[in-house]
Structure 1
Amino acid sequence: MTLPALLATFTNNLLPVLLISGSGFLIGKLIPIDTRSIGRVAFNFFSPVLVFNLLVTSSLRLDQALSTVGFTCLVLVTMGSLAFLMGRLFKLERPMLLALILTTTFGNTGNYGLPLVKFALGDNALAFATIFFVTTWLFFNTVGVFIASLGHMDFKTALLGLFKVPTGYAVILAVIVNALNIELPLPLARTVSLAADGTIPLLLVLLGLELTRVEWSHNMRALSLGASLKLLAGPVVGLLLASLLGLQGESRQANVIQASMPPAVMTTILATEYNLEPPLVTAIIFISTILSPLTLTPLLVFLTS
């Protein structure tokens, strides 16, 4: 792992992601923008279209897709359990503990992970990364909501919330299209492809816009714990579980990268909604995102060497 290899990997793969996100951050600082509305458009239209397009055009076999789903579930459970144990060890109060679990469990596999995998590994690997993203998103809208709303909402209510997630319907529709070997009419196929191509730039700009809303937390112990767990433990857990499940090639590369992402920006919504230390959550997200090239660059070199 030489310095030229690290610099080339950073410049070719991570720098484009950071430049586009940085542009979104700068725009958000200079111009008042309603990021919530943009986020709703991105996650209710563009993201489902991207997922549908990737699954329909992908050559993934069913067993490859299922192994990615299993890997993702194991990563989420392991990272959440690790956060719980570390939070108890450091004697964090309940709201802070739940905030730590959320930021450690759910990585930014959409805004950040998908474009990074596309740049670094290509479209075939992007299909694996998409399944990881969809599985995480479904977990987030059930288990994530349940964790954040402990004492406010039962699991049945959180489960019913799945029916409000368009990405899930995109997956079902893609499965039907593939199972029946349906060929989309050319105008529809081009429409889907055009919208899908615009999703990743939009997600990167949205990431930058979301980071402009950071509130600084003064609890440095919890802040450093949250950032270090996601950036340092994430890659280790990803590599160990990938070896345990026997993942190889692009499947291993894409899944480990997704497991190593900094915290998801969407966790700020749950933290704000249920008063789970929003300043701490946004600070962990900001610091982790800024520092993530320090861990992702050598990880990419290792995975692709």
Structure 2
Amino acid sequence: MISELFNIISPVFIIALIGYIWIKGGYDFPTDFVTRINMYIGAPCLAFTGIMKLGDGLLEVTDFLLATLLSIMLLMAISGLFAYIFKLPVRSYITSLYSTNSGNMGIPLCLFAFGERGMSLAIAYFSISALFQFTVALFISHGSLSASSLTRVTMLYGIGAALFFIIGDIEAPKWLMNSTTLMGGVTIPLMLLTLGASLAGLKLKNSGKMVLISAFKMAMGFGIGLGIATLFGFTGEERTVLILQSSMPVAIFSYLLASKYNRHPDDVASMIFITTLMSFVTVPLLLTYLM
């Protein structure tokens, strides 16, 4: 079991560590360029191939999509209630506490732990999470929302294209599948390198307070994931992926929102850093429990 866990976890943390060391070594990392490549090209390709691999089984995961939606809504509601009760800045904390790093960390973990189907389900979870980030979280942080924000959820384009082929019972051209598979394959290591590079630029402040808040965040995610999976009667990959994705650390995107709209970015950066460090312990424990 230990060697199996190591085989699953080590690629994720090693590649992220390379990105971290790269920045700490003083080398340039074009974060903006890599992020844009991932957002506009890599992520849609990854979503397309992931959904295509579900194929005719897509209708079977409708409950998983509903469960994902419910879990994210609960994460957001409880995060807001927690911030309100403890007199924390609600707008600053709700957008970070509810978020999960279901893309950079969650997708590769689900791939290595649960195979291609696990990755496809993880992509579905991440797509809904991204939709929330670019709409609800953006509205909470900024106070307004434009229709153009939906166009930034580029994974929806890949999902839409896959649905066109699946629902229309049309076989996708071989060249299209090969091209998107190749580009989608690049996306995961780039995500992990970017995660490490981003962590290297964050600074830890108010560490005692942030450790307690971060511990609550991680426990909340696991509790909600487990509760929703049980409520829906999930077994197999649906159960494991939902719980694992809900238990991921705070998403890097939360810091971008906090920094752009001045929503206590130092606190958010600390939560990202601490919850990611906590995941070095929680992820092995989670995988041991789920597998």
**What TM-score bracket applies, with the shorter chain setting the length?**
over 0.9
Matches within 5 A, 1:100-139: 100-139=93-132
| Alignment TM-score, normalising by the size of structure 2 | 0.94
Aligned residues with identical type, % of pairs: 29
Q: Does 1:179 align with 2:163?
A: no
Could you tell me how far apart the structure 1 residues matched to 2:198 and 2:56 are? 33
Tell me the C-alpha RMSD between the 2 structures.
Answer: 1.6
Could you tell me how far apart the structure 1 residues matched to 2:81 and 2:237 are? 32
Could you tell me how far apart the structure 1 residues matched to 2:253 and 2:130 are? 10
**2:224 matched residue in structure 1:** 237
Q: Does 1:14 align with 2:9?
A: yes
Structure 1 residues 60 and 276: CA distance shift in structure 2, 3 A: farther
**2:79 matched residue in structure 1:** 83
Could you tell me how far apart the structure 2 residues matched to 1:225 and 1:71 are? 28
Kept in 2: contact 1:9–1:301 (CA 8 A)? no
- Once the two structures are TM-superposed, the CA of residue 234 in structure 1 deviates from its matched residue by 0.9
Q: Does 1:168 align with 2:156?
A: yes
Kept in 2: contact 1:230–1:261 (CA 8 A)? no
Q: Deviation per CA, 1:176-221, whole angstroms, max 9, x where unpaired?
A: 1111122222222211111111111111111111111102222632
Report the 3-state secondary structure (helix = DSSP H, G, I; strand = E; otherwise coil) of the residue aligned with 1:122. Answer: helix
Could you tell me how far apart the structure 2 residues matched to 1:225 and 1:273 are? 25
Which of these residues, 250, 254, 258, is aligned with residue 263 of structure 1?
250
Could you tell me how far apart the structure 2 residues matched to 1:269 and 1:198 are? 23
- Once the two structures are TM-superposed, the CA of residue 9 in structure 1 deviates from its matched residue by 4.7
Which of these residues, 141, 151, 173, is aligned with residue 148 of structure 1?
141
- Once the two structures are TM-superposed, the CA of residue 98 in structure 1 deviates from its matched residue by 2.2
Could you tell me how far apart the structure 1 residues matched to 2:102 and 2:188 are? 12
Q: Does 1:246 align with 2:233?
A: yes
Matches within 5 A, 1:179-218: 179-218=167-206
Kept in 2: contact 1:60–1:127 (CA 8 A)? no
Structure 1 residues 65 and 167: CA distance shift in structure 2, 3 A: same
| Alignment TM-score, normalising by the size of structure 1 | 0.90
Q: Partner letter of residue 19 of structure 1?
A: I
How many residues in Structure 1 have an aligned counterpart in Structure 2? 290
Could you tell me how far apart the structure 2 residues matched to 1:198 and 1:188 are? 16
Q: Deviation per CA, 1:92-123, whole angstroms, max 9, x where unpaired?
A: 2x3xx322211221100110000000111111
Moved more, 192-201 or 256-265: 192-201
Moved more, 66-75 or 266-275: 66-75
Q: Partner letter of residue 158 of structure 2?
A: A
Kept in 2: contact 1:9–1:300 (CA 8 A)? no
- Once the two structures are TM-superposed, the CA of residue 225 in structure 1 deviates from its matched residue by 3.9
